[in-house]
Amino acid sequence: MKYYFAPMEGITLYPLRNIHNSMFGDSIDRYYTPFITATHNFHFKKREKRDALFENSPAFENDKGRICAQIMAGRPDTFLWAAVEMKKLGYEEVNLNLGCPAPTVVNRHKGAGLLLDTDYLDGMLKEIFDKLPPFSEGGIDVSLKTRLGFYDEDEAEKLMAIYAGYPIKELIIHSRVREDYYKGSPRIDAFCRAVQVYRENGGKAPVCYNGNVFRADDKELMGRIEGICDAVMLGRGIMENPALARELKGGEPLNDAELKEYLEKLYYGFAEYIPEDRNVIFKMLEHWAFLAARYPDREKELKAIRKSRSKGEYFAAVNNFFSK
Ligand SMILES: Cc1cc2nc3c(=O)[nH]c(=O)nc-3n(C[C@H](O)[C@H](O)[C@H](O)COP(=O)(O)O)c2cc1C
């Protein structure tokens, strides 16, 4: 089984990807950039472009296939433009976001909003694959990250039949519908059915499962998806436990010393990226919001970390957390 580090907007930025890769990268088969918006005026936001530059991720420069750029686009022409720009930067694969549930995205006919109009989506994919050759022929590979539907998991039937008609590099399925956002249990039965429908329609691409993989010992979930998919994408689970993929591969569990080292490196990585200690601390607190789920018995120490507003206060609180 392969393991991917999921794209997470504002979170899995290059400092995090680089540092995670330097400590836990052996267990990760592919990283994804958070979505890069292909705007209607064929322009990237400066910070999104910066995040995608290989010069900011030197460890990936000789292994460009280990990172995939995700694109948010609502039109074939903007997607094609963005894909070609990513090709110029050195990417071998781009991923189309068909899952973002945010109203601002959906209302603009992007992300999961594209799942609402299957004729339009079909036409968009047709134009993309008609015009863009794969990486092996001098172009760039295209993978999809989708949900099972917008309102209802039965929508997957139609969606999978559409996806099966195109030479996608990989099909990543977040096992929820848009209306679920990130809540509740993933729809495993519907995921299994969707993979079956994709195969029955002649879909040949590897399939990746995504949704609520939090623990390496979750035998029930892993047991159900093993055998029908080739990869698992980890999001909140790997934010909570950066060694999750290693554990899933049968390796050592995370220990406090390496988590502490990881968080320290992240702090200094983000300090080079973001001006002002206060903002670096806010970035780290976003991270701690994921980690907190792992430590229900250290609420007092976590509270002190959340209250810190200077670098000194932050590191004192973190040291105290790890001395428990
Ligand atoms: C804060 C946050 C930001 C996210 N940003 C993106 C994104 O940029 N692109 C994307 O495809 N999915 C994004 N996702 C969804 C995740 O990639 C993943 O599909 C989701 O968290 C479910 O997987 P998990 O249960 O392993 O966390 C985001 C999720 C969260 C919580």
pLDDT of residue 219: 87
Could you report the per-residue pLDDT of 155-214, keeping only the tens digit for each? 999 999 999 999 999 999 999 999 999 999 999 999 999 999 999 999 999 999 999 999
* Pairing of β 30-32 and β 2-5: parallel
Q: Measured from the CB, is residue 12 less than 6 Å from ligand 1?
A: no
Decide if 35 contacts 9 (C-beta within 8 A).
yes
β-bridge mates for residue 141, sequence order: 93
Distance of CA 7 from the midpoint of ligand 1 (Å): 6
The DSSP annotation for 273-306 comes to HSSSHHHHHHHHHHHHHHHGGG-GGGHHHHHHHH
- pLDDT for position 310: 95
Q: Percent of the chain, pLDDT > 70?
A: 100
Are 113 and 104 in contact by the 8 Å Cβ rule? The answer is no
For residue 214, which atom of ligand 1 is closest to its CA? 26
Could you tell me the maximum CA-CA distance found in the chain, to the nearest angstrom?
59
Q: Does residue 176 line the site of ligand 1, with CB under 6 A?
A: no
By the 10 Å C-beta count (0-12 exposed, 13-18 middle, 19+ buried), 137 is classed as: exposed
Give me ligand 1 centre to Cα 316, in Å: 31
The CA 211 to ligand 1 mean position distance, Å, reads 9
Residue whose CA is at the smallest distance from ligand 1 atom 13? 8
Any atom of ligand 1 within 6 Å of the Cβ of 25 = no
Per-residue pLDDT tens over the stretch 4-48: 999 999 999 999 999 999 999 999 999 999 999 999 999 999 999
For residue 101 and ligand 1, the question of a CB distance below 6 A is answered with no
Helices (H) and strands (E) counted in the chain, each on its own, are 14, 9
**Of all atoms in ligand 1, which is nearest to the CA of residue 238?**
26
Q: Which CATH class is domain 2-248?
A: alpha beta
Task: State pLDDT tens for residues 103-162.
Answer: 999 999 999 999 999 999 999 999 999 999 999 999 999 999 999 999 999 999 999 999
Ligand 1 atom index nearest CA of 213: 26
% of the chain surpassing 90 pLDDT: 98
Atom of ligand 1 nearest to the CA of 97: 11
- Whether the CB of 213 sits within 6 Å of ligand 1: yes
The DSSP result for 68-91, as a single string, is EEEEE-SSHHHHHHHHHHHHHHT-
For the chain, give every domain's residue range. Answer: 2-248, 256-322
Structural contact between residues 51 and 36, judged by C-beta atoms closer than 8 angstroms: yes
- pLDDT 10s digits, 263-311: 999 999 999 999 899 999 999 999 999 999 999 999 999 999 999 999 9
Please give the span between the terminal C-alpha atoms of the chain, in angstroms, as a whole number. Answer: 35
Which ligand 1 atom is the nearest neighbour of the CA of 239? 27
pLDDT at 324 (0 to 100) = 79
